[in-house]
Structure formats: C-alpha cells, structure tokens
Structure 1
Amino acid sequence: MQDIEHVHYMPLLGAVMATALLGNRPATFLAIVLSVAADLIMTTRLSLTEATANTILFVLIASVMAEVCHRLASRTALLHSILTSVPVVTLDGEGRILRITAPAADLLGVAPANALNRDFSIFAPDFGERTLSALLQGDALTAPAAGYWMARRPDGEIVPLIIHASLLAHSVDPERVVLSLADQRQALAVNDRMRELMGQLSRSWRLNSMGEMAATLAHELNQPLTAATVYLHAGQTDIARAGPIGDSASRALDLAKTQLLRAGDIIRRMRELIATGGPQLTEERVSSMIEDLRPLFDLIRQDTGVAIRIDVHETRDGVLADRIQFQQAIANLVRNAVDAVCGHGEGLVSVTGRCLANQGYEIRVEDNGPGIAEDQMDRIFQPMMTTKAGGMGLGLSVTRSIVESHDAVLTVGRSPLGGAAFSFCLSPVSELEAA
C-alpha cells in the first residue's frame, strides 16, 4: 500500500484548484504542469512505472477538479454580474441593511457604504416592524393600498417602488430577507401621460360635437333674433307715442335692440368663420371698439358692483381687426375678470390700451382678484378647462383663437393690481399695410 506516498499531491491539487478559481484555463494547465514537474523533482520514486501512474492520476484528478472550479467560478461571476445590475437589498432579522447593490443605493439616493447597518424603514417608512415580522413568519409581502411603496431619499425626493421579498434559510444568517426593488417613476409617468391623452381625446370629441352644434345654432338662431329685433323696434314706436314719459323705456329698448343686433352679428361672423376659416379684418380704431362696449360694462357693473375702469389711449390706435370678434374677446376677458374679483372685497377691473411704438398697440385686461395659480398658467387656455362651478371652459379658449386670428398672441401674467393680467398686441394699420 502506498497511500501515504500519495498524500504529497494534496497541496499541489489545492494550488491547481486555486488557480482554476482565479484564472483561466491556460493558467490552470500551466499550474498542473508545474505541479507535476515540482513533484517529480522533489519526490524520490521507487520506479518509473509508479511515478508515471501517480502523475497520470494526478493530472486526471486535477483536470476534473479544475473544470469544476472553472464552471463554479463562471456561474459565480454570472450571478455576481446579475446581482450588481439590479437593485437588491438584504436585511437581517432586525430590518438592518447588510448588503446593497449599486443600483439599489442609487435608487435610494445614498452611497452603498452609508446604507449599510441602517434600518430599511428609514428609506421606506411603510416598511416597518409589522411588515418585517410578517415576512419572517413566512407571509407574503403585501403592498400598500396605492399598489407601490414610497421611498424617501435623503434629498427629499419621493420615489415609488415595487418591492419583491424572499425569505432566506437560517443557514445564511445573519442575512434573513432579500428585497428586489423596481423603480415605478417611469411607469407612473406613462400612466399619467396615457390618462392625459385620454382626456385630450375626450375633449376633442366634445369639441367636435360642440362645433357641429355651434354651426346648427348659428343657422337656427338668426331668425328668432331678427324677429325679436323687429318686435323691439315696434315696441319703441309704440312707446314713442307716450311722449317724454316713455323716453327711459325707449332708451332701455334701444340698448336691448343694440345687443340683439350685436348677437346677430356674432352669429353671422361665426358662420363666416366656419365657412371660410378666418375673420374679415378691416381698419378699426381700438378706442372706438372698446367705447362701444361701455354700455355692456355699465350693466355688468350694476349687476355685480365691480368697478370697470377704461383707459384707452387714442394715439395711433388704428389697427386691422374684426370689430365684432375683437369686442367679443374683450367682453370675454372682462367677464372672466369680474367673476374672479366677485366676493373678494372691492373688485376692480382695468381695461387699458396704449401704443408701444414698434411693438404695436397693446390691450390689457387686469383685475385685483386672487390671480391664477402658477400650475394653471399653461392650462387655462385649453378647451374644457375651467375653475368656475358650472363653467364650460370655452371662454378663454375662444378668446385666444380670436386673438390668434388677428396675428397676435394672448399672454397671461401677474397684474400690479394683485390679480391676473391678460394682454395682446395688434400691429398698427400703417405697419400692416406696409407689409
């Protein structure tokens, strides 16, 4: 029996296995060759046959063990590569972080070294002792009512997470729980965008329906408005026979007839806009167009108690405009401003107009109400968007369309009066004609 003589190969076999775990196959082959050479030099053999047999046996065993080590190292490297590319955290039985991958640390907004031995609940407050205790007892991890967990990063950002948990065997103590984290920010953003697109499709469908309805109304309402104007004119004739006693009533009827005629003009222009796709611009003076609205503003003031101040400079106020549509846009802005200041103390609405030389003629409608929230500045011009109970959300959208049809841009900002300020500039007639 020469079993004792075979023991001298054990350190050499260990060296080959270590090389296989740390290096590649050529390095392992070189380690086997060197091990055999070293053994032949340092060991005295009884015979060449015995030395050859032991060498062959060693080479076979070393080759098999080296291949096993290579595959084990490759699988370990693959597993390590997978784990380091995904957000994974391991916890002990107290909920402290024992291991954390770089993606997980980046997701939680902390350096990996700074996260170790800290309670995971510091980053995910909803993941408390009760949740950890249920996991250690073998229960499945149940997400909060929202469907995801909220992680709070040190910089204050809240990150929605999906967390998958697995319970480890006691043999790998002190690690007890493995958590796999998934960032939900992009998924939630996609869902929000999808809901926004669905809302836009819904609004587009309603606007199309309203467009068809508007065309029908523009056709059907013209006749009753014309008849009402005729009846008012006949009423004025009868009242005129009463002499001075009927003068007040006659003036009121005259104002009513004027508004009916204006309503007819609006409907006629609407039909033309639907038919031709654009307004008919003529040379107008801003001061004259706004002055015609003064009786309407007086009625609004009487009904609401809101003061409407008009300050329109007549200097170089000639512009190309559709008179009726321009007046409709100003009336819409004034009504919106009045609605904004009602119930907020002494309401004031200011309508100003002034020439800005090369920039054109600016019209501003301002109020001293609460103003418009910053997050709504970009949305108030969208159709169907309204902050008023019972509102349809079309006033500002229609007003912007009218302003844009005059080659201008309707802007909104903060007024020195404290509320909102809507403004747009029309190019002077001289510049438009020169162009």
Structure 2
Amino acid sequence: MTDTFPDAVPGGDEDGSPDEAGDSAVRDRRVLALYHRVVDNSPDIIYYLDNSGRVAWVNPSAFRFFGYDDPAGIIGQPFVNYIHPDDRELVLTSFLEAVRTHRENTTGLVFRLLKAGGDVVWVELHSQMIFDEDGNYFDEVGACRDISERRKAEDELNRVNAELRAYAQVVSHDIKTPLTAIQLALDMIRRLLDDEHSEEAMDQAREMVGVLDRNVEQANRLVSDLLTLAEAGLVPDDYSELDVTQLVHRVVEELAGSIEERGARVDFDADLGRVCANRTQLYQVFSNLVRNAVVHNDSPEPRVEISFLGVTADGGYHYRVKDNGSGIQEDYMDRVFDLFFKGTTGVTGLGLAIVRKIVDASGWDISVRNEGGASFELILYDRG
C-alpha cells in the first residue's frame, strides 16, 4: 500500500521532539502528523490526480473501497477507468467544463464507481482543481463519499411516491365513474321535471337536485385536491420569473363563482412583485389560501386582502393573505395544515395541506395567526 504523505519533513525527529530548527518546525511536524491521521482514517476516498488524469495517490480507504490489495491496481491508472460507463460522459463533461472555465471547485457531483469485483457504488464528488500560473490545468485533489445507502433510500422514496400517485389516479377514476353516472341522472331528472305540472313537487325535486349538485361538486373537488396533493411534494424542473400580481388576478378570476356565492370581496395590492418559481405550484399556494379565506369566512360581509409586505433580510418575499372572519380557534392553530383537518366547520379540506406540502418542498415558509381574522403569512424565495 502506498504511503499517504512523505515522511521526510525537516524540523523534528520521528517522535516530534524539537531540534535545532526550533519550535516552528515541531509545530509543522505535528500538524503534518495530524493531517496524516485524519486522511488515513477518513471513510471517504481521498485522491490526487496528475495532469494526465491518472491516480497519483489515494488514502487507505480507497484501497478498501475498490478492493485492491496491490497499489498497482489503482496508482498510475486513469481515474476514468473506475467510473461506470454510463456516467463517464457526465463526469468528463464536468471536468472539461471546469478546465475551460477555470472552475476550481466541483461540489456534489453524483455518479457511480466500479469496484474491483464489478460491484457498483454511488458516490458524491467534491474536488478542487489546481491551475498553473498560465491558467493551465495542473492537477486535482478530491474526495468521493459513498452515498449508496442514501441513494437506495431516495430510490425507495421515489418508488413509494410513484405508487401513491398511481393509487391516486386509480382512486380518482373509481370515484369519478359513479359521479359521472350521478350527473347524467341529474340531467335526466331536470328534463323530467320540466314536464311536471305540480309546482310544489317540482320545487322539492329541484331542491334535491341542488343538494345532489353540491355533493357532486364537493366530491369532484375532493378528487381534484387528492391529485394535487399527490403532486405537491414533487420538485419541478421548470422555473420562471412570475408576475405575482398577474397570477393572483387569475386566481381571483378562477374563484369568481365562490366569491360571488359568499358575497365576498377580494382585494390585492397593485404591485405584488415578482418571484422565480414554478408557476403551477405558486398558483396552487395562492389559490388554496384565497379559497380558504373566502369559503371559511364567517363574516356577514367577507373580505380578503392579499398584500406584499416587502423583502426580508435573507432575500425572501413576504406576503400576507388575510380575512375578516372570526379567526381560528387557538386549539386548532397548530393543526390547520394537517391532512383532512376539519376544524369547526366539519368540512374535510385538503387546501391548506396542499399549501404546506408545496411550501416545505420549495424551502419556503408559512405561518398563521389571528389578526382581526385569520392571517396567513408566506415567505417565498427564488427557485431555479
């Protein structure tokens, strides 16, 4: 096995005792010995590549990791030989881009390495390139951390989430099928009622039709919310700078029916600023907050205000969605974002659970308090 560091260090004997060079040399020797122990005992693969990309040095963990007893199995070999064939383009592209742009540090590059026996291991790379005075690539030092267990857990989580999304699709189909039949039956009842001559019977029938209509709408809303909830925790890959004023305006337009039914008024600032985010997720956040403020507002003259409170010290965009209802009972304050929480209305809602899931997945923040009604404060950070 190759040595980790050269032993010939001036300024001290092997035991670190001082000689004529003085205390400074002793300290140097002790620091080097400390580095020696840290590197040798690190569980990570620590390596040094020469300017041809060949392995010039590795720590003992690398030999154990790759399964080589003979240093010749690693030392002097091209590092690319140990990268999984499917990941070589990824790693080489990152390497060449770093050389081209003189990027010294590469952090968090994830790929697969091959052991001596052919086993595949996921690793996360952190490396630093060294350039000469003319800006030419000289060599590279770095560390690879085995993240196989983390990757396994992530794959399992992705599998479970995929199953849950598939389940939500199946459930929505199974629920919507009878709902469609109910809707067709309601249409037929309406046509039959048009032929009746008893106003009292028709009034009662129409009233029942209205009840059925509302239940169909509620069931459809529940199905839609379940599907949204299944997608809410996913990390999207498309972000753009969004005009929040325009987005909120569209939310209010979408909720016009509910707003009119409640006799509510929704006001928002003329300039709500701009945020870089996923459009669908940001729309869901504001839509569910506004819908909640309208539907659960017990004021005889419901009012909802959406305000931009400015930029926080850490660069977040601070928003508030506030209503003029009686607020939230203190006993319920910590549970309003829970899945299927009913509260005092007895109505099962998913809206705030969807908001919480999107907020958490996006690294945002949301809080609620009573301030002349329920007041939800949202802090958004640019994504992408």
TM-score by length of 1: 0.35
- Which structure dedicates a bigger proportion of its chain to strand? 2
Larger relative contact order (Cα-Cα within 8 Å, sequence gap ≥ 6): 2
- Which structure dedicates a bigger proportion of its chain to helix? 1
TM-score by length of 2: 0.39
Determine which structure has more spread, i.e. the larger CA radius of gyration. 1
